[in-house]
């Protein structure tokens, strides 16, 4: 995001859990701060040093140890790139339960550390469910090992959960045992135009009802998001005319005739009721990929405007777009665009406001309003991107004081000298940025 830049003296690139442990033991004895870094694709500065922290990169820890097609598990090191894991799993007709735009460079250790959500969360759920085990190196070099690979294990506290989503502040994930899923033999993608946000919500309800167990994604973007990808990254609008909202619906199943019939019935109904005014269904994988581009390349497109003020909000679906509607007039004279898109099926809005250069006047129109609105509607100020450096000081908008106190006590217990990924998540960053 070009927001943070540290002055690290060294990047350490260990190849094994043992090497990570040795590094942490050394750093712990000498009180050296360490920032773990995976693919460095995060959006909140979680993997960037703020001052002179050493960087511990997992990029050389890229071994796939094994795939068990019966148990449906994959065991690998933390530095494996998500797309590489999918390629290995495809040979067994399996795939990772998570997918996101950064798949070509993000690493599984970083995905888990940041509890990445992504495009198919609606169907395959959270990493808190699909990670079956991991190894994590604590700030003092001790190794926590939960790699038994059992789907059920009720013996005491589920320690692996501590490292999922704690953004490398409690330990460094070095090895992973993932529950993986069937690669669908039938995939359909439909791209729809809706005349209003009420109709988008009705389309979601109809998709959940009509497509049921085969629904794998329900993503949305508004007209500003569409205009952004058309103008900046040359991705065309699949329709001749524009609409206020667009929805991408995907199905994953095992019987193409059955799935296509379900999709057709859903679409007919959505058009009859006026919830959908235009629609296109991909006829092959190339067309499906082209439709996904409209949604997946918004983030890249927004960067072309210069500075992006980026928010990743969870809200009840009925209030989700009212945040964009409330924001737009506030920033109208100062911003290049105010875009709403995201994972509607998960109640996750990405609100992005762009301008050619950083502007304090614009920023004052956005914050704290965006956080106050979210708190008022009982939402979360970070649905999936994490808190990192950028949002750590705003944790109280989404977490009661007693919860934050317990989080800080846990951090203090595991990392008494505050050496692992300092200034992130539960610690305030001193720069106030």
Q: Which residues bind ligand MLT (CB under 6 A)?
A: 101, 299, 312, 342, 350
Residues 342, 78, 52, 48: what is their CA dihedral angle, to the nearest 10 degrees?
-10
CB of 405 to ligand MLT, least distance (A): 29
DSSP 133-171: EEEEE-TTS-EEE-TT--S---SS--THHHHSSSTTSS-
**CB of residue 240 vs ligand MLT: minimum separation in angstroms?**
26
Closest approach of Cβ 299 to ligand MLT, in Å?
3
Nearer to ligand MLT, 117 or 422 (CB): 117
**Least separation, in Å, of the C-beta of 292 and ligand MLT?**
11
Residue closer to ligand MLT by CB (options 350, 411) is 350
Helix, strand, coil % (nearest 5) of the chain? 35, 25, 40
Nearer to ligand MLT, 184 or 342 (CB): 342
Closer CB to ligand MLT, 118 or 279, in the complex: 118
Extract the tokens encoding 150: 């059992």
Spatial contact of 343 and 121, defined as CB atoms under 8 Å apart: yes
Residue whose CB is less far from ligand MLT, 341 or 397: 341
Q: Is 130 helix (H, G, I), strand (E, B) or coil?
A: helix
- CB of 196 vs ligand MLT, minimal distance in Å: 22
Q: Minimum distance from CB of 342 to ligand MLT (Å)?
A: 6
Angstrom distance (rounded) from CA 351 to CA 338: 7
- Minimal distance, residue 315 CB to ligand MLT, in Å: 15
User: Of 138 and 294, which CB lies nearer to ligand MLT in the complex structure?
Assistant: 294
**109 φ, ψ to 5°?**
-65, -40
Q: What are phi and psi of 106, to 5 degrees?
A: -70, 150
Distances (CA, A) of 399 to 45, 54, 117, 173, 380: 20, 30, 19, 25, 9
* Helical (H) or strand (E) element with 288: helix 285-296
270 burial type by CB count under 10 A (0-12 exposed, 13-18 middle, 19+ buried): buried
> Shortest gap between Cβ of 385 and ligand MLT (angstroms)?
6
SS3 49: coil
Q: How far is the CB of 253 from ligand MLT (least distance, A)?
A: 23
User: Nearest to ligand MLT by Cβ — which residue?
Assistant: 299
Q: Which residues of 151-183 are buried (b: 16+ CB within 10 A; e: fewer)?
A: eeeeeeeeebeebbbbbbbbbbbbbbbbbbbeb
Nearer to ligand MLT, 111 or 299 (CB): 299
**Please, are residues 293 and 201 in contact by the beta-carbon 8 Å criterion?**
no
In the numeric block, which tokens belong to residue 395? Answer: 């944790």
Angle (CA) 180-184-185 rounded to 5° is: 145
């Amino acid at each position: 995001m070009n927001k943070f830049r540290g002055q690290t003296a060294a990047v350490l690139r260990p190849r094994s859990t043992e090497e990570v442990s040795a590094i942490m033991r050394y750093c712990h004895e000498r009180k050296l701060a360490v920032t773990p870094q995976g693919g460095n694709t995060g959006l909140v500065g979680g993997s960037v040093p703020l001052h002179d922290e050493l960087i511990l990169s997992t990029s050389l820890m890229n071994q796939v140890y094994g795939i068990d097609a019966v148990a449906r598990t994959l065991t690998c090191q933390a530095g494996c790139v998500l797309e590489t894991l999918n390629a290995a799993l495809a040979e067994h007709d399996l795939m990772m339960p998570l997918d996101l735009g950064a798949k070509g460079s993000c690493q599984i250790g970083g995905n888990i550390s940041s509890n990445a959500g992504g495009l198919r969360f609606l169907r395959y759920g959270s990493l808190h469910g699909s990670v079956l085990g991991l190894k994590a190196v604590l700030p003092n070099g001790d190794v926590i090992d939960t790699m038994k690979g059992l789907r059920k294990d009720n013996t005491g506290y589920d320690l692996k959960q501590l490292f999922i989503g704690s953004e490398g502040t409690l330990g460094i994930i070095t090895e992973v045992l993932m529950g993986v899923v069937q690669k669908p033999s039938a995939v359909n993608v439909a791209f729809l135009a809706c005349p209003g946000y009420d109709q988008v919500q009705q389309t979601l309800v109809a998709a959940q009802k009509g497509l049921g167990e085969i629904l794998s994604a329900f993503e949305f973007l508004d007209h500003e998001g569409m205009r952004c990808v058309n103008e900046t990254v040359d991705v065309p609008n699949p329709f001749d005319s524009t609409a206020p909202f667009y929805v991408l619906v995907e199905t994953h199943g095992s019987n193409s005739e059955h799935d296509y019939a379900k999709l057709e019935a859903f679409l007919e109904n959505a058009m009859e009721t006026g919830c959908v005014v235009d629609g296109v269904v991909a006829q092959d994988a190339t067309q499906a990929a082209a439709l996904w581009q409209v949604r997946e390349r918004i983030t890249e497109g927004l960067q072309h405007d210069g500075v992006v003020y980026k928010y990743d909000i969870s809200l009840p679906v009925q209030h989700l777009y009212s945040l964009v509607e409330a924001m737009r007039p506030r920033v109208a004279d100062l911003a290049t665009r105010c875009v709403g898109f995201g994972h509607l099926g998960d109640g996750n809005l990405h609100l992005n406001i762009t301008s050619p250069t950083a502007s304090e006047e614009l920023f004052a129109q956005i914050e704290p309003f965006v956080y106050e609105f979210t708190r008022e509607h009982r939402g979360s100020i970070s649905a999936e991107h994490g808190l990192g450096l950028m949002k750590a000081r705003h944790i109280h908008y989404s977490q009661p004081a007693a919860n934050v106190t317990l989080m800080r006590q846990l951090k203090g217990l595991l990392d008494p000298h505050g050496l692992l990924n300092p200034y992130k998540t539960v610690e305030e960053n001193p720069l106030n940025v």
